[in-house]
Every structure is written in structure tokens, then in C-alpha cells.
Amino acid sequence: MVGLFFFFKPKPTTSIEQPAQNAPSILLASDSTAKETSPTNGVAKVTDSNRAPKNSKTLWTVFEQYLVYAKNNDKASLATLSYKVSDACADPKQEKECFAKMDAVYEIGSKLKENDFVNILEDSKQAILSTNVTRIDSDSELGATKATIIFIKDDKGNPRLAALKPNETWVINRTSTSTVSTLEAKLEATLKDTDNDGKTDELERCVFPDNYVVFACEKTDPTKKDSNANGYWDSVESYLSK
């Protein structure tokens, strides 16, 4: 995906890219598939009966502290809130590159507002904060965009930042034969997330909106939150360490 790959790369089984003008994915990882809302509906909180979930305020506090460490170029402290440190920040010889990425993370992350992140998906292993979608409606396209922050929890249940996608975008191109009803139906299908795992049904089936450039895709089950039963949602899977 176009953007800064700050902490780690996703598993090579899935590679999805989006053009920078539509969805600059900025920070910790390089997957662009999470989806929790539709144009008309928000997402209720999802919890795991095995553990009382943390709330969005706690998650946002972690994110805010993360940004403080990034602003101060504090690698050691940043690592305590990160799911995995990037190769650049782990290599003393690449310190300049690491600091530049921290600066970019702070620049983007500091513009996000807590009150906009009204949706939360959370259980004992992971959490996703997201905004509601904002519609894109122009002469050439219909679509939606939102911001997403993904956390993966450590063995003690502490949320570690795994990915920030400040402008996750889905686009349906208008054509000379497009009708309003057809475009609306396509957009609704594009955003649908039956199992509420943060990954749209179409992405789970390797069907992509018009703004995606796809090199490889591994299908998952849109009716199962955790297709391989390893405890991590399909939307989070690509951010896991090997």
C-alpha cells in the first residue's frame, strides 16, 4: 500500500495497495482492509465474554501517548506501545529514517480527533477504533472513507498499536451507464461486513473496489470473524508477526 510502513510488513499471502490520492495508509502496517461501518449504520461494541474489554477512552489514551513518544523521537518509549518495531527503528544505522517516520506519524495522527472515533470492536486479543464513514460523491465516483486505528494486545491484555489508517477509502467509478440505484447498491455491498470482524465481505472474497490495486489475495470466510480460529480477526491477521 502507498504510505509509510512504520513497524512491520503484513504476511506475504495478502498484498493490497491503494493509490495515494485515495487512501494514504500511514503508519504501522500495510493492510487496507478494515471496515466497521456502512454509510447509514454505525457498529455496536463487540466484546469477548472471556475478558471484560477496555473502553475507547483507554485505547485513545494509548494512542495519544504513542503520538507524544513519536513527536519526541523517543524510540525506547514508543516500542513499549507498539506491537512490533520496524526494521528502521530497530537498526541504529537507520535512525534518521526512523525519526523521519516518527515525525510523519505525529503529523498525521495529531490531526485525528477522539470524538470522531465512535465505533469500537474489541475482545481479549485485539481492538479497532474507527470513525463513521464519510461519503464521497462526485461526477466521476461514489465512495466512502473513514479513519481506523488497530491495536493488538500483549499477553497481559495491554493494547499495542499495530496500524493507523487515517483515510481508508472505497471507490466505485461512475460510468456512462451508471444509475444512482446501481451505484448505491454497489457501495452498500462494498462496505458490508457480515461477521463484524473489521474486514468487508467483498475483501474477504477477494473482490475489490475500483481504487484498489491488488497483487495477491487470500480469501477468508465473510461469515466467520476468525476464519483460521487462531483468536485473531481476519482484519487483524495480516498485522501479526510471523
Q: What is the residue-level pLDDT of the chain in tens, covering all 242 positions?
A: 333 333 333 333 333 444 433 333 334 433 333 333 333 333 334 444 344 445 677 999 999 999 999 999 999 999 999 999 888 999 999 999 999 999 999 999 999 999 999 999 999 999 999 999 999 999 999 999 999 999 999 999 999 999 999 999 999 999 999 999 999 999 999 999 999 999 999 999 999 999 999 989 999 999 999 999 999 999 999 899 76
The domain ranges of the chain are 15-237
Looking at residue 112, its pLDDT comes to 98
- 128, 59 contact by CB (below 8 A): no
Rounded distance between C-alpha atoms, residue 123 and residue 129, angstroms: 12
- Condensed to tens digits (0 to 9), the pLDDT of residues 224-238 reads 999 999 999 999 998
Looking at residue 57, its pLDDT comes to 76
Looking at residue 50, its pLDDT comes to 40
Backbone angles phi, psi at 206, to 5 degrees: 65, 40
The single-letter code of the amino acid at 44 is: A
Rounded distance between C-alpha atoms, residue 22 and residue 1, angstroms: 11
Q: At what angle do helices 56-71 and 95-109 cross, to 10 degrees?
A: 140
C-alpha cell recorded at residue 117: 472515533
The continuous run of DSSP H or E covering 68 comes out as helix 56-71
DSSP β-bridge partners for residue 161: 82, 151
Helix, strand, coil shares, percent, the chain, to 5? 30, 20, 50
pTM of the model: 0.79
DSSP β-bridge partners for residue 193: none
Rounded distance between C-alpha atoms, residue 149 and residue 130, angstroms: 6
Three state DSSP letters for 135-174: EEECCCEEEEEEEEEEEEECCCCCEEEEEEEEEEEEEEEC
DSSP β-bridge partners for residue 146: 168
- 225, 196 contact by CB (below 8 A): yes
Of the candidates 209, 231, 182, 213, the one whose C-alpha atom is nearest the C-alpha of residue 35 is: 209
Give the chain's largest Cα–Cα span.
56
Rounded distance between C-alpha atoms, residue 175 and residue 115, angstroms: 36
Looking at residue 184, its pLDDT comes to 96
Looking at residue 47, its pLDDT comes to 42
The single-letter code of the amino acid at 80 is: T
- Condensed to tens digits (0 to 9), the pLDDT of residues 61-100 reads 999 999 999 999 999 999 999 999 888 999 999 999 999 9
Radius of gyration of the chain, Cα coordinates, nearest whole angstrom:
17
